[in-house]
Amino acid sequence: MTPLLEVTDLRITFRRDSGPPIVAVDGVSFTVSAGEVVALVGESGCGKTLTGLALPGLLPPGAELDATTHIRFNGTDLAGLSEDALRGYRGRRIAMIFQDPLTSLNPVMRVGTQIAEAIRAHQQVSRGEARQRAIALLGEVGIADPEERVDSYPHQLSGGMRQRVMIAIALAGEPELLVADEPTTALDVTVQAQILELLDRLRVSRRMAVLLITHDLGIVAGRADRVIVMYAGRIAETATTVALFATPAHPYTRGLFASIPRIEGSSGRLPSIPGTVPRPDQWPIGCRFHPRCPVVIANCREVQPPLEAVATSHLAACWWRRRRPGEHATGPGRRARQALPRRRIPQRQCARRARRRGCLLRHRSR
Amino acid sequence: MRAVEDVSFAIAAGETLALVGESGSGKSTVGRAVLRLEEPTAGRVRFEGTDLATLTPRALREARRRMQIVFQDPFASLNPRRTIGASVAEGLEIHGIVPREEIGDRVSHLLEEVGLDASFASRYPHEFSGGQRQRIGIARALAVAPTFIVCDEPVSALDVSVQAQVLNLLLDLRTQRGLAYLFIAHDLALVHQIADRVAVMYLGTIVEIGPARAVIGAPSHPYTRALVSAVPEPDPTKAKTRIVLEGDPPSPSALPIGCPFVTRCFHPAKDARCSTERPHLRPVGDQQVACHCAAPGDGAAST
């Protein structure tokens, strides 16, 4: 089966007036199939939002796609399309929702008008019919009393309702792919659960693929089929959600897991990844994660690790896995090493326990 | 319109009380009222034994030295045109805590204490990431050697990894300086890491309060149970029964007459009394719960 979206060697550079161009996304390849939810995870500054923006051709001014980049959507390479041709995809076949619905909605226009506007941009229907479809969409995204709400202004709605309106606008073009960039980050926990549930329902009812961009691995579980972990413009690890949570291979992924606060287990200090993501013009030589990594070997400081298979459809870019027998880590010290689970559980044993308990083990330092 | 009603709690020295609730529940208003940044219509705030409302402006200023606040968005609370050093030094100067010539040294020391480089003092807020700015906000609060800090959603705007760093910093400072916190948050998993006690607010009232272990481990109020169940489970193989609440909280200007939660409540024992009579806090299990129907062990079924 050919995937709905196939991104190969995505490379985004920013030209500067002085100095060499800055590479912000550096050779990212992935696929999304119809009806699939793929999560793109990483800290701020890793290039996940830029990756999402590149798909419908919404890169900010100054950002350019490399000539080697291909974004194949249903067989057409969007990377080579003109602005005019892209317009046929943007919003219609690839829609996008953002973190803050208030800044994306027009404050002086009724929400119904904004949805109807989106409908009429994509289909030739009368005003009256567009309004009826807007009401139907509001109902579909779970807004109570859509006949009344259609005449509300954005400020009259709560954060959760505004995000539902944004989703309704995104659905207006009947997209095959929805890029959701931190759709629940600004929302309360209870509302977050509602919105994620809604996205999941739409994926099933419309067979719509979703690229879920988030910094929080915690919300990915049970929502995404596959996860792509990005670090400093590259893919650090990618796997099915179940495999990634059961056996995370990259130290960065393990660090992200460890720093999720959990309602069960011990309270107090959380293991954390020391330091911050370097800026694109300050990416270190070798593995870009090595200055923050707890398990660094000589290779890590010199050569960028390739993304290679660690199991079936599970890839990771890490030298530590390929260390020679007897080679020891010389990481940035003990502080960082605490972020790792103390005990590595062999996969076979892990699966056995999982069967016994009816669930896979949580990877967390004890 | 009443934004917050009938809220009472105490925080012991060195203790952390978490105030949890959705946006609009009044938790920030309570935090501000505690510092008298917001004048309450009625009620008293006693700090170290004295009623803040009775203090003269001069005495209030002295009391404020010992109580500080850290905001959610440190960018909005830092003056973009002042250096970090000047912002951190401001409190030291106003309260005359150290002699003028020692201010520079003290600022360097404070920046290092919150995990920043002392050389950052000459830089401006826009040069820093969200996590670093939050550390600056904390350094500024610490400058005047407070005993109590209101932390108003201090990590909500940060990435998960940075969130853990800042949370650890707050925990370390608590141990080193014996600080008491009023920790305002909406994320119960986060609260679980730091709080000794938890108060859950809904539409301006406390609906459940008690030891963190009890409130989070065995929540009793239906609203708390929904909040606990909404915490994302970071394990795809673990099925979790989620209570997804219907709709949004009603507007504070049109509160239900009885229990404020009655419009969204799913408790099977819900009856006419819930819509006519306002429940008050009463002991259920190890905590205090404002619900007519809650019984010990209610939460066990939901988690």
Question: Per residue in B53-63, pLDDT tens?
Answer: 888 888 888 88
CB distance A107 to A154 below 8 Å: yes
Least confident of A102-111, A246-255, B80-89, B240-249: B240-249
% of chain B surpassing 70 pLDDT: 96
- Any domain includes B112: no
Mean pLDDT of chain B, nearest integer: 88
- Using the 3D structure, point to which of A143, A169, A195 is the last residue of a domain: A169
| A214 touching B (Cβ < 8 Å) | no
The closest of B116, B128, B120 to B85, measured between CA atoms, is B120
| B39 touching A (Cβ < 8 Å) | no
| A1 touching B (Cβ < 8 Å) | no
| A245 touching B (Cβ < 8 Å) | yes
- Any domain includes B45: no
pLDDT in tens, B224-279: 999 888 887 777 777 667 787 877 777 777 778 889 999 889 999 888 999 999 99
| A260 touching B (Cβ < 8 Å) | yes
* Helix/strand/coil for A329: coil
Residues A253 and A149 in one domain: no
* Structural domains in chain A (count): 2
Mean pLDDT of chain A, nearest integer: 87
Mean pLDDT over A5-10 rounds to 96
Alpha helices in chain A (DSSP H): 48-54, 83-87, 101-104, 111-122, 127-140, 146-149, 159-171, 189-206, 241-246, 251-258, 334-337, 347-357
pLDDT at B183 over 70: yes
Residues A164 and A292 in one domain: no
Mean pLDDT over A271-294 rounds to 91
Residues A293 and A180 in one domain: yes
Asked whether the whole model's pTM tops 0.90, one would answer no
CA distance linking residue B110 with residue B118, whole number of Å:
8
B222: containing domain? 207-303
- Any domain includes A99: no
Least confident of A28-32, A276-280, B15-19, B36-40: B36-40
Residues A110 and A256 in one domain: no
CA distance linking residue A125 with residue B229, whole number of Å:
43
Interchain proximity A159–B23, CB inside 8 Å: yes
pLDDT at A22 over 50: yes
Residues A209 and A325 in one domain: yes
- Any domain includes B244: yes
DSSP letter assigned to residue A300:
G
- Any domain includes B179: no
- Any domain includes B274: yes
Smallest Cα distance from A336 to chain B, Å: 12
Measured between beta carbons, the chain B residues lying within 8 angstroms of A220 are 234, 236
What pLDDT is recorded for position B11? Answer: 92
pLDDT bracket for residue A351 (50, 70, 90)? very low
Q: Is the ipTM of this complex over 0.90?
A: no
Q: Which two tokens stand for residue A228?
A: 């792509």
Q: What is the CATH number of the domain that holds A209?
A: 3.40.50.300
- A336 to A143, A272, A345, B150, B299: CA distances (angstroms): 46, 8, 20, 30, 37
pLDDT bracket for residue A332 (50, 70, 90)? low
Least confident of A39-43, A149-153, A206-210, B3-7: B3-7
CA distance linking residue A134 with residue A152, whole number of Å:
13
Residues A160 and A270 in one domain: no
Residues A137 and A237 in one domain: no
Mean pLDDT over B278-286 rounds to 92
pLDDT in tens, B110-160: 999 998 989 999 999 988 888 889 999 999 999 999 999 999 999 888 888
Residues A324 and A288 in one domain: yes
Mean pLDDT over B179-191 rounds to 92
pLDDT at A116 over 70: yes
Interchain proximity B162–A43, CB inside 8 Å: yes
Residues A74 and A179 in one domain: yes
- Any domain includes B247: yes
| B187 touching A (Cβ < 8 Å) | yes
pLDDT in tens, A204-262: 999 999 999 999 888 888 789 999 999 999 999 999 999 999 999 999 999 999 998 88
CA distance linking residue B179 with residue B187, whole number of Å:
21
% of chain B surpassing 90 pLDDT: 47
Number of A/B CB contacts below 8 angstroms equals 140
Smallest Cα distance from A113 to chain B, Å: 23
pLDDT in tens, B157-168: 888 888 999 999
What pLDDT is recorded for position A24? Answer: 94
What pLDDT is recorded for position A144? Answer: 84
CB distance A253 to A321 below 8 Å: no
What pLDDT is recorded for position B240? Answer: 67
| B226 touching A (Cβ < 8 Å) | yes
The arrangement of strands across the sheet holding B148-152 comes to B67-70, B148-152, B180-185, B16-20, B197-202, B205-211, B287-289, B282-284
Q: Which two tokens stand for residue A247?
A: 């056996």
| A362 touching B (Cβ < 8 Å) | yes
What pLDDT is recorded for position B239? Answer: 65
Interchain proximity B232–A255, CB inside 8 Å: no
Single-letter amino acid, residue A118: A
Residues A62 and A147 in one domain: no
What pLDDT is recorded for position B261? Answer: 92
- Please report the beta strands in chain B, taking only residues with DSSP state E, as ranges in sequence order: 16-20, 46-47, 50-51, 67-70, 148-152, 180-185, 197-202, 205-211, 282-284, 287-289
CA distance linking residue A127 with residue A148, whole number of Å:
17
- B272 to B259, B260, B276, B277: CA distances (angstroms): 11, 14, 7, 9
- Any domain includes B226: yes
* Structural domains in chain B (count): 1
- Any domain includes B257: yes
Interchain proximity A255–B244, CB inside 8 Å: no
Smallest Cα distance from A268 to chain B, Å: 5
Interchain proximity A260–B189, CB inside 8 Å: yes
Interchain proximity B231–A242, CB inside 8 Å: no
- Any domain includes A300: yes
What pLDDT is recorded for position A360? Answer: 37
A210: containing domain? 1-93+175-366
What pLDDT is recorded for position B198? Answer: 96
- Using the 3D structure, point to which of A154, A169, A184 is the last residue of a domain: A169
Strand B148-152, strand B180-185: pairing: parallel
Smallest Cα distance from A88 to chain B, Å: 35
Measured between beta carbons, the chain A residues lying within 8 angstroms of B193 are 261, 267-270
| A103 touching B (Cβ < 8 Å) | no
Closest by Cβ to B233, choosing from A221, A257, A274: A221
CA distance linking residue B45 with residue B61, whole number of Å:
15
What pLDDT is recorded for position B55? Answer: 86
- Any domain includes A35: yes
Smallest Cα distance from B145 to chain A, Å: 23
Interchain proximity B161–A255, CB inside 8 Å: yes
Mean pLDDT over A189-217 rounds to 90
Q: Give the length of chain B.
A: 303
CA distance linking residue B278 with residue A299, whole number of Å:
67
Residues A84 and A121 in one domain: no
**Higher pLDDT pick, A359 / A140:** A140
- Any domain includes A165: yes
- Any domain includes A326: yes
**Higher pLDDT pick, A187 / B199:** B199
Interchain proximity B186–A189, CB inside 8 Å: yes
Classify the phi-psi angles of A66: left when phi > 0, otherwise alpha if psi is within -120 to 50, otherwise beta.
beta
Residues A300 and A161 in one domain: no
Closest by Cβ to B247, choosing from A45, A144, A259: A144
What pLDDT is recorded for position A1? Answer: 63
B 141-170 near A (Cβ less than 8 A): 159-165, 167-168
Smallest Cα distance from B50 to chain A, Å: 32
